[in-house]
Amino acid sequence: MRQDALATRARLVRAAEDLFATRGLDAVSMNEVQRAAGQRNKSALQYHFGSKEELLRAILDKHVPGLELERHGLLDELEARGGVTPRDLMEALAVPIFKKLDDEDGGPAYVTIFAQLIGSPTHSTLWSTAMRANRGADRLMRLLARVCPELPPALRIPRYLLVMELLFHGTADYGRLVAADPAMFAGASRELVLSNLVDVLTSVVTAPVSIATSNLLAPRSEP
């Protein structure tokens, strides 16, 4: 792809990030993205992406590889060290996402957009595809099964989904609120907020399975 075409594509993605993050995925039209990117050619967005779904996929493609690389590095360090704990894994999951708040090239917008994608009724296919393609998440799930053998397999995906919801919504909300009113978090450093978030995520994956839930997991006898 020519340099001018790459530059146009990047401007469209950046404009979409800002609009989707501030106004919501379903409230922004493709025409609005095109105007915000300063594109007079009305077919530019259609040429580069074709649909809003593909535009959203391009936003994920912009950010996810770097996150994956960093997370694999953290997991490599943990496995080399040995003695991995559930909190170690939740920290490896959370730290790259939380650091996106400092990424001036659309990082906070990406976190907000991904938070919107989780459970979105209109973009659920994109979300589930992104999860299945996330090798870092798959690796983390395998490690989690190793360090939390008491967690029944049937509960691993539900717990992980809860973790992802808390991680992205919590990070996005914190980033937005601290930018709007820093005094709201007076006395709570970013490191403290992140550490507390990791504590909460750890409590989700390690929460004891109740008797009521265990009874639902037990195989039902034939009548």
Top-tier CATH class for 1-50: mainly alpha
| Residue 115: its H or E element | helix 107-117
- Asked if residue 100 lies in contact with residue 146, where contact means CB atoms within 8 angstroms, the answer is no
Among 71-75, 112-116, 188-192, 219-223, the least confident range? 219-223
Q: State mean pLDDT over 46-71.
A: 89
CA angle 166, 168, 174 (to 5 degrees): 90
Closest alpha carbon to 60 in 120, 122, 140, 117: 117
Q: Is the pLDDT of residue 60 over 60?
A: yes
Q: How high is the pLDDT of residue 2? A: 72
| Phi and psi, residue 181, nearest 5° | -150, 85
Region 45-72: mean pLDDT is 88
141 has a pLDDT exceeding 90: no
- What is the average per-residue pLDDT within 193-197? 97
**Lowest-confidence range among 15-29, 130-144, 152-166?**
130-144
- Cβ atoms of 167 and 129 closer than 8 Å: no
CB atoms under 10 Å from CB of 130, counted, come to 19
Please give the mean pLDDT across all residues of the chain: 88
pLDDT at residue 6, as a whole number? 82
What's the rounded mean pLDDT across residues 129-146? 75
And the tokens for 87? Answer: 């909190």
Instruction: Answer whether 42's CB lies under 8 Å from 34's CB.
Output: yes
Q: Which pLDDT belongs to residue 138?
A: 80
pLDDT in tens, 82-129: 999 999 999 999 999 999 999 999 999 999 999 998 877 776 666 666
Residue 223 gets which letter from DSSP?
A: -
Tens digit of each residue's pLDDT (9 = 90 or more) over 12-42: 999 999 999 999 998 998 889 988 988 777 6
For position 221, what pLDDT does the model report? 47
Using CA atoms, how far residue 122 sits from 26, 27, 76, in Å, is: 8, 12, 36
The CATH number that domain 52-207 falls under is: 1.10.357.10
Domain ranges of the chain: 1-50, 52-207
pLDDT at residue 223 is higher than 60: no
